[in-house]
Amino acid sequence: MHDQFLDALKGRHRTVKVTDVNELVMRQRGRKSAAELALIRDAAAVSAAAHREAMRAIEPGMNEFEIQAIAEYTFRRNGGDGPSYGSIVGSGPNSTVLHYNRDDRYMRAGEVVTMDMATYYGGYSADVTRTVPVSGTFSPAQRDIYSIVLAAQTAAERQVRPGVSFTVLNDSALAVIKAGLARVGLIEAPDATYDCGAAARGGRCPQYRLFYMHGLGHPIGLDVHDVDAYAAGALVEGSAFTIEPGVYVRANTVDIIPDVAANAAFRARIASAVRKYANVGVRIEDDYVVTATGFDRISADVPREIDAVEREMAQPAGPAPRDAARVERYRRLKP
């Protein structure tokens, strides 16, 4: 679209020099100013408050939209502009759907619920996701998957510092995910493939892609998926972005794998593991700012360690005290 616009502009104004400043603007948006980072930090703080409120409220029998309502009320109550995107609250089988947004299922004991919810503050966006147990305590199977995802996230964040390519972060997280999936029996080996019928790949696809089918993260800023100023380059001081690995075990995974002779052994080997982990979808997403020596995890107010999540969920439900100064600061930002 951008190239088409430039071509049309040059065609209409042949005597005028047309300069593409898109790359310059992308670089400017990729390195946030101190004022921009302050707003992103506020967006992350308000989003964190909403996640904690949701964690305390969740119990079997609640509908997903009730959690959505609690989060979005908390955004506004704490000075947020409103949701950065359509809030995702997916329980049970819905936790394995990447962009599930119906948010209309009654949650059941023994399930997990994935909450991808965040707010704008002063026009700048956060993006935060947590997966928690509906009953308040992770089952052993849920712990297995959650631990893989958390280890992948922390492996990636340990690489964050100026000058490092985002590809390095991705490779670090992916290695952990592949090893974890092999360890629990969901794939045959970290680099194993299967016959997926994809001509572009010679008919073979990585087995891990059945369970981890999205990228590791993206920039945040004026847009929740902000311009990707360092996709092929390196992180710089002032970059703001997410790290959001996930593992999603769909109950019908074996049926998704083409039923051909080349896949027979693979389908048989993973069938019991798929049954064990069926309908457990886990994504953990945090927001980061690159500093001179490393990073700040600016959404760290949301618990992510298993024990910390369970402690938070055991707290009484109900609106927590809000940061009045942040609310008034937000009101002064409004035109």
- For residue range 255-286, list pLDDT tens digits in order: 999 999 999 999 999 999 999 999 999 999 99
pLDDT of residue 200: 65
- Percent over 90 (pLDDT), the chain: 81
Torsion, CA 146, CA 134, CA 136, CA 175, rounded to 10: 0
- For residue range 9-18, list pLDDT tens digits in order: 778 888 878 7
What does the domain layout of the chain look like in residue ranges?
Answer: 31-333
Count the residues in the chain.
335
Q: Which two tokens stand for residue 302?
A: 């949301």
Give the CATH class of 31-333: alpha beta
pLDDT of residue 335: 56
Residue 221 · residue 124 · CB < 8 Å: yes
Q: Which two tokens stand for residue 288?
A: 């980061």
Backbone angles phi, psi at 297, to 5 degrees: -90, 95
Radius of gyration of the chain (CA): 21
Rounded Cα distance between 180 and 318, Å, is 37
Mean pLDDT of 227-240: 80
Report which residue type is found at 86.
G
Backbone angles phi, psi at 83, to 5 degrees: -60, 140
pLDDT of residue 198: 76
pLDDT of residue 222: 95
Residue 155 · residue 173 · CB < 8 Å: yes
Confidence of residue 242 (pLDDT cuts 50, 70, 90): very high
pLDDT of residue 256: 96
Residue 312 · residue 173 · CB < 8 Å: no
- Nearest of 172, 206, 173, 204 to residue 189 by alpha carbon: 206
* Greatest Cα pair distance in the chain: 69
Confidence of residue 315 (pLDDT cuts 50, 70, 90): very high
pLDDT of residue 230: 59
pLDDT of residue 182: 99
Mean pLDDT of 42-70: 98
Average pLDDT, the chain: 94
pTM over 0.85: yes
Confidence of residue 233 (pLDDT cuts 50, 70, 90): confident
Mean pLDDT of 43-59: 98
